[in-house]
Chain A
């Protein structure tokens, strides 16, 4: 019956309203029945509601946690963030010590006047390894790093130690002989081996909190010019070093402190600075300083780096006081009447040569469309406080009697080179093989008080880089010297293979 009964709208309205009406009626009755001060039921109700809210909060928190876990799982799924893989990959972010380096092999052929002074100096046709350098580097933390470079040489073996001066007794010609007897087997008296040279080219710790502030302590390459910063044969275009490097008008490396940094004033504009404080130069500078004065230097460098054009220029100023000394030991005669407590052995330090040097080095580099124009200039003024007693060889070079007693005067040294090169646009034919012909002109005055020693050098050659690790060079060099040395000068042909690894 109920199923078949279709209620009319009036009865539907009553049916919808009746719970409301019932609540009102029963509520009124209940309210009327409960005393006004009895709050127990209300308190119970509040407690129930609080419990309900707490349980709902807990459920909400559980759901949030579940949601976060689901989100993380989703990210892991999407990114493949498998913990095991991350452990392995995270290892590759760790810093290890890197070992790398370079070496070079040379062949040199020379042509010169056999009856000139060069006859005593010039090399015969020779093949030799002139460098084998090993680098060690590590980025220990985000801001701490170290770099070390060891150079292995066969030198000083074969280097000339002294000349025999004609007519002067007691003078002998000597070469440095670096052969030593086998210390393990003393009975093997005829067996010896070369104890070749080893040089710590640089070893320093660097703290780099900012691009504009890096603090370096240790032995470092002097931050001057282009050649000294390039430093390695695979980075040089030419097969021979320019004379301003060979003559070391600026110390090539120093031991002490360097503060340097880089600013970016505008996009593609780099401004570098460096301040150096070191032992300076001297016979023992890499180990200890022989005077209180420190070598001070400052470098400024600006570079504009555009797509097809790079211009950079810099200057380095350096001042130092160089001391060379000797230790003299003597004995006082002990006479019968002398006080026995008086020291009979004495030792003195005697300064042999002390001079101040003021150096200014400038460099310029221009690269555009494969053309490279590079130049460096060094000026050095040497001012003596304790002048050097000139040895017989120097006296002869000055045109003096080798037996005279003369001291070196203050003097000026200058050297410059200009290098022009063009990287041939052969990449479509040769791929990554780079072929660069070059020409270099050098002028140097080692000592303006000497009548000889000035030179003009002309070099031309080809630099081929078949891979990032190998550079091949073929070069012809002509050195024009003072007539007193050789009117015809000297000609060199270099073949060099420089390898970095």
Chain B
């Protein structure tokens, strides 16, 4: 093999290794990741943040697959709720309050229920969808459909 070809191959290998390392770093699990989950038995594939946003703003009452869905929030003013509002709903707290107050008058919309531990609620709710930080997550209890890292870009 010629030396030039060898150099090109080595450079290619090094670049691939660096890319893999970078990708590995980006996908590293963080305790601040928000995990969006459904009941263990729900046959829901991966969903988009836009669909989750529509469900939690009650713009839609069904999954795109067709099944009914009941959104369950983390408690108001909790860290998980604030993070979810910023990363998924793209709203400030007062904007969310305005949204529900206006929606109530327009269409009789009520905000989703809140639970101290959404994991607990979704464990019991067949058609529920909830979220929590990865640090609060318990393996094997629910079915994760979306991961939203702290930078807001879903995985």
Query: Could you list which residues of chain A lie within 8 angstroms of chain B, going by C-beta atoms?
Result: 75, 78-81, 86, 89-90, 92-93, 98, 100, 102, 135, 137, 139, 142-143, 145, 147, 208, 210-211, 229-232, 234-235, 262, 264, 267-268, 270, 307, 427, 431-432, 434, 465, 468-469, 500
Whole-angstrom distance between the Cβ of B38 and the nearest chain A Cβ = 16
| Per-position binary interface string of chain B over residues 98-126, scored 1 when its CB falls under 8 Å from any chain A CB and 0 otherwise | 10111011111010010111011101110
Closest 4 CB pairs of A and B: A432-B94, A137-B108, A147-B108, A468-B101
Contacts of B107 on A, CB cut-off 8 Å?
Answer: 147
Contacts of A78 on B, CB cut-off 8 Å?
Answer: 138, 141
B140 to A, closest residue via Cβ: A75
Contacts of B141 on A, CB cut-off 8 Å?
Answer: 75, 78-79
Known: A79-B141, A89-B116. A208 touches B104 (CB 8 A): no
> Which of B66, B70, B127 is within 8 Å of A210, CB to CB?
B66
Confirm or deny: B48 has a beta carbon within 8 angstroms of a beta carbon on chain A: yes
Confirm or deny: B77 has a beta carbon within 8 angstroms of a beta carbon on chain A: no
Contacts of B7 on A, CB cut-off 8 Å?
Answer: none
- In the complex, identify which listed stretch (B9-17, B20-28, B29-37, B54-62) lies at the interface while the others stay far away: B54-62
Once the chains bind, are B98 and A468 in contact (CB under 8 Å)?
yes
Once the chains bind, are B108 and A80 in contact (CB under 8 Å)?
no
Contacts of B68 on A, CB cut-off 8 Å?
Answer: 142-143
Confirm or deny: B135 has a beta carbon within 8 angstroms of a beta carbon on chain A: no
Once the chains bind, are A135 and B108 in contact (CB under 8 Å)?
yes
Query: Could you list which residues of chain B lie within 8 angstroms of chain A, going by C-beta atoms?
Result: 48, 50-51, 54, 59-62, 64, 66, 68, 70, 90, 92-94, 97-98, 100-102, 104-108, 110, 113, 115-117, 119-121, 123-125, 127, 138, 141
Please report whether the interface of chain A is mostly helix, strand, loop or mixed according to DSSP: mixed
A143 to B, closest residue via Cβ: B68
Q: What separation, in Å, do the CA atoms of A139 and B112 have in the docked complex?
A: 12
> Which of A92, A98, A267 is within 8 Å of B113, CB to CB?
A92
Once the chains bind, are A500 and B101 in contact (CB under 8 Å)?
yes
Q: What separation, in Å, do the CA atoms of A42 and B108 have in the docked complex?
A: 79
12 A/B residue pairs, CB under 8 Å, sorted by A:
A81-B120, A93-B70, A98-B110, A102-B105, A135-B105, A145-B108, A147-B107, A147-B108, A234-B101, A307-B90, A432-B93, A468-B94
Known: A75-B123, A79-B141, A142-B68. 14 other contacts (CB 8 A): A79-B120, A81-B120, A81-B123, A89-B116, A89-B121, A92-B113, A93-B125, A98-B104, A135-B108, A137-B104, A232-B105, A234-B101, A264-B64, A500-B104
Known: A98-B110, A431-B94, A468-B98. A79 touches B117 (CB 8 A): yes
B62 to A, closest residue via Cβ: A211
Whole-angstrom distance between the Cβ of A53 and the nearest chain B Cβ = 33
Contacts of B48 on A, CB cut-off 8 Å?
Answer: 267
Contacts of A270 on B, CB cut-off 8 Å?
Answer: 59
A303 to B, closest residue via Cβ: B59
